Amino acid sequence: MEKLFALLDGNYEEMVAIRRHLHEYPEISFEEVETPAYVAAFHRALGHEVREQVGGRGVVAILRGAKPGKTVALRADFDALAIQEENEVPYKSKVAGKMHACGHDGHTATLLGLAKVLNAMKDELAGTVVFIHQHAEEIAPGGAKPMIEDGCLDGVDVIFGTHLWAPTPLGEILVRDGAIMAAADKVDIVLQGKGGHGAEPHHSIDAVVLASQFVMNVQQLVSRRIDPLKSAVLTIGHFEAINPFNVIAERVVLTGTVRTFEEQVRIQMERELEAVLKATCLAFGATYEYQYTRGYPPVYNHKRETDFVAELAVDVPGVEKVITCPPFMIGEDFAYYLEKVPGTFFFTGAKKPEWETAYPHHHARFDFDERAMLIAAKTLGKATLEYLKENN
């Protein structure tokens, strides 16, 4: 393990350089071209077996150790977001309207740096390591499911993954067995009223008032219809009526998200959301269109693998605390990997010590402490080596 840590320390500057290069040239979900090509070329230069266009735009690289053994998969995503970066840093995005605002550039740099180090240790490696570089995590249906269908998990015994997490201080690792992240679903609604003159509301069915009433009504779903010992979130994030100021809108478009952990609650939210919508429209004499689209399922960590990472992370250089965290209502398509093979997904703290607060993920001024990549690489690397050693 000391050799692993020493080699990663020596490779840290290259890891930072890779992250900053990727940060300057972001590519958003389902539009990744140069990023997967860069990743594939890096692995080929190491002599790894490489498959491109896995499940669309994904890359899978395989490192076979000198001795036979189990197969460990490590996953990193590489897509960016449609956000105009507001940071003034030397590695600021050079692509207008796009930036790495969630740390996926760091995930990719972490995995490439670790791949190089494990490759240097392949003569001592008893087993196989599969590096899964995933496209399109940010937008459902995501890249994980098609990559799995294209065989990225074939022969894999266990999978590990991490997310660099800016709200959590550098040096902390967050773990949780069972549900750690929520199902993330989308709701699309069109409310159809009857337009008219702004001075004559009695001749119209005001879709703005109707939509406003609906948004207020559905707030009672979580507070009054869902078991208070269970969790759910409903957010209407988009409300659109394009009308002149003196015209009563006949049509409003709403979109939102529903987050749950349990299947029963997920079904209840889908059903009762439409029931409130139907009742509200009936009261106004209006009509509606309703579409509930299931996104990623909840991320359920396997207990054995979660305990395994929690125990080994304590002795990783740079790790000061290993914390059992509460569940997060954010979503992640890492869930699909965990439905197929045992594994765990954890968070690596990436908040700089000098920051009082960190800008949240998906913010135009998001950034993270790059030293978190080294901690993540050491934790994933140690998990890989110890798993192969213990399971041979």
Element spanning 68, H or E: strand 67-77
At residue 137, does pLDDT exceed 90? yes
* DSSP one-letter code for 221: I
Residue 75's nearest CA partner among 383, 314, 388, 304 is: 383
**Burial of residue 274 (number of CB atoms within 10 Å: 0-12, 13-18, 19+):** middle
At residue 324, does pLDDT exceed 90? yes
At residue 316, does pLDDT exceed 90? yes
* Domains annotated on the chain, with CATH: 2-181+298-390 (3.40.630.10), 183-296 (3.30.70.360)
Tell me: the pLDDT tens digits for 3-57? 999 999 999 999 999 999 999 999 999 999 999 999 999 999 999 999 999 999 9
Query: What's the rounded Cα separation, in Å, for the pair 378 and 12?
Result: 11
Sign of the CA dihedral running 242, 247, 249, 255: positive
Proportion of the chain above pLDDT 90, given as a percent? 99
Query: What's the rounded Cα separation, in Å, for the pair 375 and 70?
Result: 24
Q: Are strands 158-169 and 343-351 parallel, antiparallel or unpaired?
A: parallel
Which residues contact residue 240 at a Cβ distance below 8 angstroms, ignoring those fewer than 6 apart?
Answer: 252, 253, 254
Query: What's the rounded Cα separation, in Å, for the pair 351 and 368?
Result: 6
Average pLDDT score over the chain = 97
Arithmetic mean of pLDDT, 155-169 = 98
Sign of the CA dihedral running 384, 387, 388, 390: positive
- Please check whether residue 87 is in contact with residue 365, taking contact to mean a CB–CB distance below 8 angstroms: yes
Tell me: the pLDDT tens digits for 295-310? 999 999 999 999 999 9
Cα distances from 142 to residues 117, 200, 312, 370, in angstroms, run: 29, 47, 31, 26
pLDDT for the residue numbered 75: 98
At residue 348, does pLDDT exceed 90? yes
**Residue length, the chain?**
392
Cα distances from 81 to residues 35, 102, 237, in angstroms, run: 14, 8, 17
- Please check whether residue 343 is in contact with residue 175, taking contact to mean a CB–CB distance below 8 angstroms: no
DSSP string of 3-60, one letter each residue = HHHHHHHHTHHHHHHHHHHHHHS--BTT--SHHHHHHHHHHHHHT-EEEEEETTTEEE
Query: What's the rounded Cα separation, in Å, for the pair 376 and 63?
Result: 19
- Residue with token string 């954890």: 346
Which residues contact residue 43 at a Cβ distance below 8 angstroms, ignoring those fewer than 6 apart?
Answer: 50, 59, 61, 112, 115, 131
Is 137 a known active-site residue?
A: yes
pLDDT category of residue 392 using cuts at 50, 70 and 90: confident
The C-alpha angle 100, 93, 353, rounded to 5 degrees, equals 60
Arithmetic mean of pLDDT, 153-172 = 98
pLDDT category of residue 165 using cuts at 50, 70 and 90: very high
Kindly give the residue spans of alpha helices, DSSP state H, lying in 150-262.
207-220
Is 52 a known active-site residue?
A: no
DSSP string of 238-278, one letter each residue = EEE----TTEE-SEEEEEEEEEESSHHHHHHHHHHHHHHHH
Higher model confidence: residue 314 or residue 242? 314
Tell me: the pLDDT tens digits for 57-109? 999 999 999 999 999 999 999 999 999 999 999 999 999 999 999 999 999 99
- State the catalytic residue, choosing from 79, 85, 172, 369: 79
- Residue with token string 């125990």: 311
pLDDT for the residue numbered 216: 96
- State the catalytic residue, choosing from 77, 137, 172, 370: 137
Query: What's the rounded Cα separation, in Å, for the pair 188 and 265?
Result: 19
- CA 324 from centroid of its chain's CA atoms: 19
Query: What's the rounded Cα separation, in Å, for the pair 3 and 381?
Result: 11
pLDDT for the residue numbered 63: 98
* DSSP one-letter code for 151: T
pTM to 2 decimal places: 0.95
